[in-house]
Structure 1
Amino acid sequence: MTGTSPKISFRGVHHVFDVAGNPFTALDEVDLDIADGEFVTVVGPSGCGKSTLMNVAAGLLEPSGGEVLVDGGRVRGPSPQRGVIFQQYALFPWMSVRENVEFGLKIARMGKAERRARAERFIELVGLTDFADALPKTLSGGMKQRCAIARAYAVDPAVLLMDEPFGALDALTRVRLQDSLLDAWTRERRTVLFITHDVDEAVYLANRVIVMAARPGRVHRIIDVDLPYPRTEEIRLSPEFAEIRNQVWHSVHHQPSAPEAAPR
């Protein structure tokens, strides 16, 4: 983080779910700042509140306490300035790739010519130009996710929130999409909050890795990833990468146990 104002700020974020009539603390007093243009990944054990954290940032969930600020303004609901990409592709099956990418722009009443030009730009960015007229049912899982990324980028969000977007993909496709995402991020420099359960993915993508602790969900450790971009196979296989990966792995899998916090 630099001395400039953060793009995203979590301030004492606390959230309690009702589970079969019993309170469950998913997040407990989370404080975190993310800089403009920063790529931050979040990892942690099952039940650490990773998805809850993202849903609060997206405005899809009102926290029980605390607040999330984007550009200094409190998040009070969903906004086109915060693009959200889930593990499920959520594409309209009756629409082509181009129509899916244009959808948000159409809702925003952008003119047809400008809408088409903008969609084409982001379809090219994710490498789907040859499939612009294809329906989702004809695409592979990786291509569907690239389409979802293009659709999110097209509406020009300041922030991208991604919840395990590559989790359902095979290993090779996953690596290719990581590189595709980083290529787009390098050119566009959106602020990215990326949730993952994969330690290697977390390190490969990020400027910083946020390690969460579970029950209650809280920030356990923040690890800087001092590796150059563009990230390459050589970097992935380097001793420096292995050292950071081991730090993250140990922080995720060898945490001291903590008692469940009382709901507030």
Structure 2
Amino acid sequence: MKPKISFQGVSRQFDLGHGEAFLALDRLSLDIADGEFVTVVGPSGCGKSTAMNIAAGLMKPSAGAVLVDGVEVSGPGPERGVIFQQYALFPWLTVQENVEFGLKIAGVERAERKRTADHFIELVGLSRFADALPKMLSGGMKQRCAIARAYAVNPKILLMDEPFGALDALTRVQLQDQLLSTWSRERRTVMFITHDVDEAVYLANRVIVMAAKPGRLHRIIDVGLPYPRNEAIRLSPEFAAIRNSVWHEVYHQHASQTEQKALEEN
């Protein structure tokens, strides 16, 4: 079966000026299946966000290509919804208007826009706040609004770059459960970047561990935990074993980099 997203030897180099360059991503090859939930972890500078930005069409690779349904990505597209850590809501628009915005741009008729927006606002638990401006919402509510807006335009793929990173621990856990509940019903393909190993394991079918300097694929770890996920799974020995395996891969990279830097400085 053809993968939904395919990274094919993707590299990205940044020009630092004065003849210097930084290789942020080095020959990344990775396939993500239709309906799969993949999380991406790794040390700082491993190219996680760079990879996602290339998949979103917000950045071009220096080499290689990303394919969606077998077609090379050449720019942003409606089949890919992007959610960042910063909510990027329009502060002068209500929740309802924010969620309807992409539909309005696409020329969807008003009654259909409202029906679609109402569905996804209810899906993320914000029906009571449909007429509220973003300044009236908590951080978690703003992120739920951003998720509803992304879903409303019916993307086949969700690309999420640390969407819960700025939230408190309790809100983060609640939104993880909300996201999984929504994903279970909608079954869209998700690529989710995070620094949180527990979050990565809890959400994913597979965890992609990246290595840094230059950014490259280090290891893929299957998460053989059943859905729906819940607190019992978080506290299970099986979860702990997978979490420890992912942590080991990420932490020992960081430790090795620290040791290498100390040797270079000496």
Shorter-chain TM band: over 0.9
Name the counterpart of 2:264.
none
- Supply the distance in 1 between the matched residues of 2:144 and 2:113 (Cα, whole angstroms): 18
- Residue correspondences, number: 256
- Supply the distance in 1 between the matched residues of 2:85 and 2:16 (Cα, whole angstroms): 24
The secondary structure found in structure 2 opposite 1:60 is coil
- Supply the distance in 2 between the matched residues of 1:239 and 1:107 (Cα, whole angstroms): 48
- Supply the distance in 2 between the matched residues of 1:46 and 1:118 (Cα, whole angstroms): 38
- Supply the distance in 2 between the matched residues of 1:246 and 1:20 (Cα, whole angstroms): 41
Name the counterpart of 1:32.
30
Q: Which amino acid aligns with 1:54?
A: M
Q: Which amino acid aligns with 2:55?
A: A
The secondary structure found in structure 2 opposite 1:106 is helix
When residues 230 and 110 of structure 1 are mapped into structure 2, their CA distance, relative to the original with a 3 A threshold, is: same
Deviation at 1:19, TM superposition (A): 2.5
Q: Which amino acid aligns with 2:145?
A: C
1:182 equivalent among 166, 180, 188: 180
Matched, 1:239 2:237: yes
1:143 equivalent among 124, 141, 156: 141
Runs ≥4 in structure 1, deviation > 3 angstroms? 256-259
Name the counterpart of 2:98.
100
Name the counterpart of 2:249.
251
User: TM-score normalised to the size of structure 2?
Assistant: 0.95
Greater per-residue helix proportion: 2
When residues 170 and 20 of structure 1 are mapped into structure 2, their CA distance, relative to the original with a 3 A threshold, is: farther
Name the counterpart of 2:43.
45
Name the counterpart of 2:217.
219
- Supply the distance in 1 between the matched residues of 2:160 and 2:134 (Cα, whole angstroms): 20
Name the counterpart of 2:86.
88
Matched, 1:10 2:4: no
Q: Which amino acid aligns with 2:133?
A: L
1:229 equivalent among 227, 230, 233: 227
- Supply the distance in 2 between the matched residues of 1:20 and 1:219 (Cα, whole angstroms): 27
Identity of aligned residues (%): 75
- Supply the distance in 2 between the matched residues of 1:8 and 1:19 (Cα, whole angstroms): 30
- Supply the distance in 2 between the matched residues of 1:204 and 1:113 (Cα, whole angstroms): 38
The secondary structure found in structure 2 opposite 1:210 is strand
Deviation at 1:18, TM superposition (A): 1.6
